[in-house]
Amino acid sequence: MHPRLLDLIACPACLRALSCVPSALDDHGMIMAGALKCMGCGAKYPVESGIPRFVERENYALSFGYQWNRFKYAQLDSWNATKLSEKRWCSETGWTSEWLKGKWVIEIGCGAGRFLDVIFGTIATLWA
């Protein structure tokens, strides 16, 4: 987790600011493990493998784990040689490649990452 993410996220319970007590950093200063604590209600959320966890693992992993592992590449345009996800992304968001330039993108549990695949393809194109 990038430390600057704290400027962008809030406690899901009360929407107040979060502080972070890291217990492990990588060589680039990214928070790999630790705890987020709400400065309002005091709720605590772990950071595991660089990812803030706002729900219990059982609330998402069990129901989608099989599907994500079994069909993890099925919806990725970069793997299936289609533009289905890109077309859906563009039609639903209305965002263009130029609009995305310089913007932050946060992945918050979007399944196999079909739209991240589109975004990363767009970003790679912008940087080429």
Q: Phi/psi at 27 (nearest 5 deg)?
A: -65, -15
Task: Verify that 62 and 120 share a domain, yes or no.
Answer: yes
Per-residue pLDDT tens digits for 73-110? 888 888 888 989 888 888 988 888 788 888 887 777 66
* Domain stop point among 13, 32, 54: 54
Both 48 and 63 in one domain: the answer is: no
| pLDDT over 70, % of the chain | 86
Tell me, yes or no, whether 70 and 122 share the same domain: yes
Structural domain boundaries enclosing 17: 3-54
**pTM, 2 dp:** 0.59
